[in-house]
Amino acid sequence: MSVDLVVVGVGYVGLPLAEAASAAGLSVLGYDTSPLVEATVAAGRSHVPDVSASRLQAMRARGFTVTTDPAILGDADTIVICVPTGLTANGGPDLAAVRAAAATVSEHLRPGTLVVLESTSFPGTTDEIVRPILEKHGQTAGEDFSLAYSPERVDPGNHRFGVRNTPKVISGHTPLCAKQCAAFYDRFVKSVVVARGTREAEMAKLLENTYRYVNIALVNEIAIFCDRIGVDVWDVLHCAATKPFGFMPFVPGPGVGGHCIPVDPKYLLDKAEREGTLLGVVHAARLVDDQMPSHVVDRVTRLLAEHGKPLREAKVLLLGVAYKADVPDTRESAAIRIAVRLRAQGAELSYHDPVAAAVPQLGPPADDLDAALRTADVAVLLVAHGAYDLGRLSSTARLLFDVTGQVPGEEVVRL
């Protein structure tokens, strides 16, 4: 029995994709190497915030299941690889999951199947890395099976744009592969954009996230400069954002986090270095991002000193350790880098997050928020989760340092 789609890697990208395809009437199954993911979905519980338990249960009623048995790949008309692409211990691209997924797919690939890579990587990944693995059992891409690349555009916590209404960039190893890929996504995505080739589509994804990376670095650097010269950066940003053309607002923060923004530009820099090219603007943005946690610690140190308290004797409470508001993901979170620096300088650290789970390297979180606010010498708001009553934070804390710029009141100290 054939199935329209098997999603390989049922996580932040794979599950929303599966949900969108299932809701459009496609038969969908998931393959994941994690028994925990298999068991969680089987129990009707969603492990991804963007897919609610009720939507997952509706998917299951339509036949969706997740299995650790790769044999289901042999029944797929289309296989979409959505595994993570992180960084190695040395900070370089880590394609181990992509290689492993491609190897598994190749063992079960039947003629006529469309294989799509959605995992983010540098230009050339689909053709130079994935294709040879898929072809190692004798089949040829573009002849025996179709090969395509379509970059994921999932934005966790975004309630306005999802898989269905976000334009989908697609590409193919051959024009026919691209045509088949477009026809597949046309079944459940409103708008499909065809790239010239897989390298162009891979590069487009890196450009999208590097654009954000560079602009966040710009406003972070402006924030550091405004602090030095005594200018209110939040008022500067408010005024600049009133221009109806030629300006797009970004806001400063403790440093970029998450699985994409701090990672994808490093894939681009690594590829550029291997090609003998220096991307100066991107490299400069990385330097700014790397210094933001230290800047936050420096501001906290100065703030405490103004109140007669050295950092090495202070109780510091971090509010929000996820990488963005209302998302439980702590991957690459700047809060963790800040916490490490604060502890290294002798601060007694505690943290609270109403959304994210406990971070093992930081220890258990504070259970009683009000008690933690009253006890801490300074509370540092790093992420303004919707569950936080910002006015209450300000009135309860002995001293509040707002990195987000969202706490009302003239008495609040802001980044």
What are the catalytic residues? 260
Q: How far is CA 52 from CA 8, 169, 244, in A?
A: 20, 26, 36
DSSP string of 128-149, one letter each residue: IIIHHHHTTTS--BTTTBEEEE
Question: How far, in Å, CA of 261 to CA of 216, rounded?
Answer: 10
| Longest CA span, the chain | 73
Question: How far, in Å, CA of 342 to CA of 193, rounded?
Answer: 46
292: left (phi over 0), alpha (psi -120 to 50) or beta: alpha
For the chain, the first-to-last Cα distance in angstroms comes to 58
Residue with tokens 């993901």: 329
Q: How long is the chain? A: 415
**215 CA to centre of own chain:** 17
Cβ(323)–Cβ(258) under 8 Å? yes
The tokens describing 108, both together, are: 């079960």
**17 CA to centre of own chain:** 15
The answer to whether the Cα torsion of 159, 165, 167, 172 is positive or negative is positive
Sheet holding 168-172, edge to edge: 66-67, 28-31, 3-8, 76-81, 114-117, 146-149, 168-172, 192-194
The tokens describing 338, both together, are: 């800040």
Q: How far is CA 414 from CA 191, 303, 369, 406, in A?
A: 41, 10, 21, 9
Residue with tokens 């599966």: 18
The answer to whether the Cα torsion of 16, 18, 21, 25 is positive or negative is negative
